[in-house]
Amino acid sequence: MQKVTPEQAVAHPNWSMGAKISVDSASMMNKGLELIEAYHLFGLPQEQIEILVHKQSVIHSMVAYVDGSVLAQLGTPDMRTPIAYALGYPKRMESPSPKLDFTTVGSLSFEAPDYNRFPALKLAREALKIGGAASTILNAANEIAVEKFLNKETGFLEMIKIVEQTLEKVSSATINSIEDVLNIDNEARRVASKISF
């Protein structure tokens, strides 16, 4: 993965998401950020939130219940569907995204993520454990690292090193206000900008 180029990283096989999110997908930072998001949205202990690799991009979330049943949300890999849901909530509205055709989907496969190959997942879990501003620092540093990668100022594998070093250098203070978030975000971006490989 050391030789992955920005052009390769943004060429997602199923989604058209824009350069930044496509790079996050290639590094699996997107899953780390979604882990943090799910933790805050649903109030579950992070040990109850699992990450699965699903290459077909058809199942977008699953919830396992105590009785062993699992409910899944399925759809085509098209962000217009969740955007329409958000805009129409609590009702459903028509979306221009293609409808899911189970006859063409084929099979659905899942695998556990490789935490060694994709250390962004490990860093996201660590940021949750640290608490405070750690998730804000992780996100801000990642945005700077991806920008550097897209500008060919750093390598694909170095992005996570920038995030990791920023987490080490910026104090994860308690957040009490939006001003605290903005200040820590600015500080993390400043630190991350100065890290180079």
* Token representation of residue 69: 């049943």
Confidence tier at 153 by pLDDT (50, 70, 90): very high
Q: How high is the pLDDT of residue 74?
A: 93
Confidence tier at 185 by pLDDT (50, 70, 90): very high
For the domain 1-49+114-197, what is the CATH code? 1.10.1740.10
Global pTM value: 0.88
User: How far apart, in whole angstroms, are the C-alpha atoms of residue 79 and residue 82?
Assistant: 6
Which residue in 74, 76, 83, 181 sits closest to 138, CA to CA?
Answer: 181
Instruction: Please tell me the total number of residues recorded for the chain in this structure.
Output: 197
Instruction: Spell out where the chain has E strands.
Output: 59-64, 70-74
Range(s) of the chain covered by CATH 1.10.1740.10: 1-49+114-197
Task: Look at residue 13 and tell me whether its pLDDT is greater than 90.
Answer: no
Task: Look at residue 15 and tell me whether its pLDDT is greater than 80.
Answer: no
Give Cα 148 distance to the centre of its chain.
Answer: 18
